[in-house]
Amino acid sequence: MDSEALRKFSALHPKPAGLTLQYGTAGFRSKAEQLDHIVFRMGLLAALRSKAAAATIGIMVTASHNPEEDNGVKLVDPLGEMLHPSWEEYATLLANAEEQELQKVITEICQKATVNLHKDASVFIGRDTRPSSEKLSQSVIDGIQVLGGQYHDYGLVTTPQLHYMVCCQNTQGQYGKATLEGYYEKLSKAFMELTKQSHCSGESQRHLKIDCANGIGALKLSEMKPYFPLEMLIHIYNDGTKEKLNHLCGADFVKVHQKPPGGLDMKPNERCCSFDGDADRIVYYYKDTAGHFHLIDGDKIATLISIFLKELLAKVKQNFKMAVVQTAYANGNSTRYLQETLKVPVHCVKTGVKHLHHKAQEFDVGVYFEANGHGTVLFSKAAETKIRQLVKEEKDDERREAAKMLENIIDLINQTVGDAVSDMLVIEAILALKGLTVQQWDALYADLPNRLLKVQVADRRVIDTTDAERRALTPPGLQEKIDALVKKYKLSRAFVRPSGTEDVVRIYAEADTQENADALAHEVSLAVFHLAGGKGAPPQP
């Protein structure tokens, strides 16, 4: 390691005094002006990770659904998955090291992770459309080059596109071509193959209005438009030419506020969807003839995809194990519908994409979505191989056709990570194939009314949870109190969990009516305030 170069470049990207940041599920996120030293050091870390794994690593500059003035950075592991947990710790260590300790910390990481600094390093870089992203990705390059790494800068891409590129590169092209054209061609070809069999009911079926959150999704969707079939009419709104990223629009805004985004004119019963700022989440919605807004979130997306996959799996007559993975935030009625009506096993895990992804890998077909619209489908190697073999060799027409559709789904879904573009195409294909309107999809089950609240506390660590965050272990007495409150309402449940990023406790409650869900959430928030060291005034109803 060239100590002189490290010292020189580190001085160009100085760490502000007293700033400490933690690498979480979303990597690092903060105000953009606080991140220069962080992204430089993540360039260093990506080079180290690449040397250790003997593979290409990705690094994405984005803060997803955060306001435009924020930014962030996250690393992508060799198969397009999220950074390994042990390396999350190294990321936090390196980010918070004082300038004079930088070389010592790098040496420590090399020892712990058995990194040979003489090995080659290769890093793929991507960034979103924030004003600060270009300069920050230059700082990433400085970090990679100090440790003698090679890099390929893809410039403006969605987060899932970068995950895809990394996976393509490290599977020697088995997953696809590591270019944007390769991504567009693979997805559009699978989409066209899949929808060939659809007897499209009427022209309006294929109209879709898309709110792109004034982000990268708009640019990439426009580039992809020429690859789509002519009957697929997509209309892009909030394309970033007029308004600020994520301002009053995007999947997060729509999900949290339960209302349509600004900048999109909705007519009754029109199918609409929203991407988030870096296009890794999607939610659908529509307005009925009475003007009521209906949100179709990640739970209902997972349900639609599960119905479709279950039918195809039954037709190919293989003994594939399929399951849906949710978190405690999934609406109770979605869980009931999947288990009782569809007869699909449902597993609940802790909040955070990495927990869902990890659990979904245990099945031949694992469907996972968070309620916020982040999700995908994973196929085991064995299942994928068998499906592709049936397409080639199966003599029975029905079984072969079902296998062909499954093969197209495998090629259409981005198995590395939730991808708004890919998920949108899967949904559009299923709606067309099943001849479903957005209202019919919505009517599969009615969501139980629910309420999300948060309570400020002195220290979020006083709350410890178990059972996939559905029960509180500490502070003493809190879970008993919640149990007693839940008994007062029909079809109700409630849970509390500490935020991953700030000193607040998040509360979720659902019940048979909105009034009861609100009342339960409020009563639980009071219990948290009194038993878990609430700050400021007690919560008001």
Binding site, annotated residues for Mg(2+): 64, 276, 278, 280
Between β-strands 70-76 and 28-31, what pairing exists: parallel, antiparallel or unpaired? antiparallel
| Annotated binding-site residue numbers | 64, 276, 278, 280, 370-372, 497-501, 506
- Inter-residue long-range contacts of 335-338, CB under 8 Å, 24+ positions, other chains counted: 336/445, 337/303, 337/444, 337/445, 338/302, 338/303, 338/306
Phi, psi values for residue 131, rounded to 5°: -55, -30
- Which tokens go with 461? 């660590």
Q: From the CB of residue 382, how many other CB atoms can be counted at a distance below 10 Å? A: 11
Query: How many angstroms separate the CA atoms of 409 and 165, rounded?
Result: 19
List C-alpha distances in Å: 339 to 336, 377, 385, 433: 5, 18, 28, 24
Reduced to 3 states (helix: H, G, I; strand: E, B; else coil), residue 7 is: helix
Which one, of 509, 506, 527, lies nearest residue 455 by Cα? Answer: 506
Structure tokens at 157: 């891409």
C-alpha distances in angstroms, 4 versus 48, 143, 147, 313? 18, 13, 12, 60
Q: Look at the block and give the residue holding tokens 């996972």.
A: 368
Cα angle 500, 486, 359; round to 5 = 45
CA dist., res. 45 & res. 31, Å (int): 21
Residue 534 DSSP label: B
Binding-site residues for substrate:
370-372, 497-501, 506
Give me the DSSP letters along 434-491. Answer: HT--HHHHHTTSPPPPEEEEEEEBS-GGG-EEETTTTEEEESTTHHHHHHHHHTTSTT
Q: Is 334 a catalytic residue?
A: no
Q: Is the bond preceding 449 in cis, omega lying within 30 degrees of 0?
A: no
Token readout for 125 is 């870089």
Which one of the listed residues 64, 137, 334, 525 is annotated catalytic?
A: 64
Q: How far apart are CA 499 and CA 504, in angstroms?
A: 6
Minimal CA–CA distance to 41: which of 56, 19, 67? 19
- What single-letter amino acid sits at 531? L
Which phi and psi (to 5°) does residue 246 adopt? 65, 5
What positions carry a catalytic annotation?
A: 64
